[in-house]
């Protein structure tokens, strides 16, 4: 890919990322066009809310992808196929991880961004083999995450599709056909509603496996929330205990009188 091919890379990315989502098991929180609320606060408005993320025009997301991901990962200077593969990895799992993997696979020290040295080293390797290795590393990393059981189907499909398109691009054949790129704001109620930075949701567990599985999933989601919000949880428990104490005391006094 070259600088003139960036639009195709972005179109493929947006096809995976989709519109607005706010899945309880996704640590990214409110997300639109694949841009999390944390990225929104970092690059757009430090006081941004979930409502701001939901209303974000796709053009804002495109600007962030170009400046903060593609340019930062030196997309215009990487070999065809490798550029798209690294770009999608950076958006999905962070620029730092994408750069680390590329540095390791090109036999350079892992720490650091993609520098001139990395660009030169990447050019000496077979692009198709690098694509395969990057996707293998990416899939292994995703499978190690504790939310793999929730988002694994979508994550695995995304890696497979990125691999196929990147290999075709590296061979000079171009990737598979693209759906029309989105142009409006994301809508949570659309059929393309996505979760965990763009992965399509699995069918409802209650319908697929019964209410027992759904209960287990609900407990797991609750445990994830408690783990992510310990101070809020403690405050809520203390407040609940105080309310219960007041109720018990009030009832005791009423009986005594």
Q: What is the CATH number of the domain that holds 161?
A: 1.20.141.10
Number of structural domains found in the chain:
2
Mean pLDDT is lowest, of 75-89, 160-174, 235-249, for 235-249
Task: Give dist(CA 111, CA 175) in Å, integer.
Answer: 31
Mean of the per-residue pLDDT values for the chain? 77
Shared domain for 35 and 157, answered yes or no, is: yes
Question: Does 210 lie in the same domain as 198?
Answer: no
Q: What is d(CA 52, CA 54) in angstroms, rounded to the nearest whole number? A: 5
Co-location of 176 and 211 in the same domain = no
Are 51 and 129 in the same domain? yes
**176 against 57, higher pLDDT:** 57
Q: In which band, very low, low, confident or very high, does the pLDDT at 174 lie, cut at 50, 70 and 90? A: low
Q: Which of 157, 172, 101 is nearest to 133 (CA)?
A: 101
196 and 254 share a domain? Answer: no
Tell me how far apart the alpha carbons of residues 162 and 186 are, in angstroms, rounded to a whole number. Answer: 22
Are 172 and 252 in a shared domain? no
Q: Taking residues 47-66, report their average pLDDT.
A: 94
Q: What b/e string do you get for 206-236 counting C-beta neighbours within 10 Å, with b at 16 or more?
A: eeeeeeeeeeebeebeeebeeeeeeeeeeee
105 and 16 inside one domain: yes
Choosing from 187, 202, 217, the residue where a domain stops is 202
154, 199 in Cβ contact below 8 A?
yes
Q: Which of 50-59, 197-206, 227-236 has the highest mean pLDDT?
A: 50-59
So what's the pLDDT on residue 251? 61
Same domain (yes/no): 52, 151: yes
pLDDT at residue 98 is higher than 90: yes
Identify the residue with better confidence: 26 or 139: 139
- Residue 9 has a pLDDT of 86
| pTM exceeds 0.75, yes or no | no
* Residues 241 and 146 reside in one and the same domain: no
Claim to verify: residue 8 and residue 96 sit in the same structural domain = yes
Chosen domain end from 157, 177, 202: 202
Domain, as residue range, for 230: 206-257
End position of a domain, from candidates 202, 218, 237: 202
Question: For residue 34, how many C-alpha atoms fall within 13 Å in the half-sphere facing its CB?
Answer: 28
Band of residue 18 on the pLDDT scale cut at 50, 70, 90: confident
**143 or 256, greater pLDDT:** 143
Looking at the structure, tell me whether residues 118 and 231 fall in a common domain.
no
256 and 197 together in one domain: no
């Amino acid at each position: 890919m070259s600088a003139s091919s960036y639009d195709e890379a972005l179109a493929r990315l947006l096809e995976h990322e989709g519109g607005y989502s706010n899945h309880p098991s996704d640590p990214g929180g409110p997300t639109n066009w694949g841009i999390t609320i944390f990225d929104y606060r970092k690059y757009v408005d430090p006081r941004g809310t979930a409502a701001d993320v939901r209303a974000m025009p796709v053009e804002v997301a495109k600007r962030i992808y170009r400046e903060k991901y593609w340019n930062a990962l030196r997309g215009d200077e990487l070999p065809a196929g490798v550029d798209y593969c690294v770009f999608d990895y950076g958006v999905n799992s962070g620029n730092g991880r994408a750069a680390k993997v590329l540095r390791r696979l090109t036999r350079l020290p892992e720490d650091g961004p993609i520098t001139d040295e990395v660009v030169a080293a990447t050019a000496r390797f077979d692009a198709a083999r690098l694509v395969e290795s990057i996707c293998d590393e990416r899939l292994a990393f995703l499978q190690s995450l504790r939310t793999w059981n929730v988002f694994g189907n979508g994550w695995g499909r995304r890696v497979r599709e990125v691999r196929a398109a990147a290999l075709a691009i590296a061979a000079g054949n171009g990737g598979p056909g693209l759906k029309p790129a989105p142009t409006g704001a994301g809508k949570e109620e659309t059929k393309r509603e996505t979760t965990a930075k763009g992965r399509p949701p699995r069918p409802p567990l209650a319908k697929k496996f019964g209410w027992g599985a759904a209960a287990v999933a609900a407990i797991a989601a609750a445990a994830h929330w408690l783990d992510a919000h310990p101070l809020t949880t403690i405050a809520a428990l203390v407040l609940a205990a105080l309310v219960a104490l007041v109720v018990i005391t009030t009832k005791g006094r009423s009986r005594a009188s």
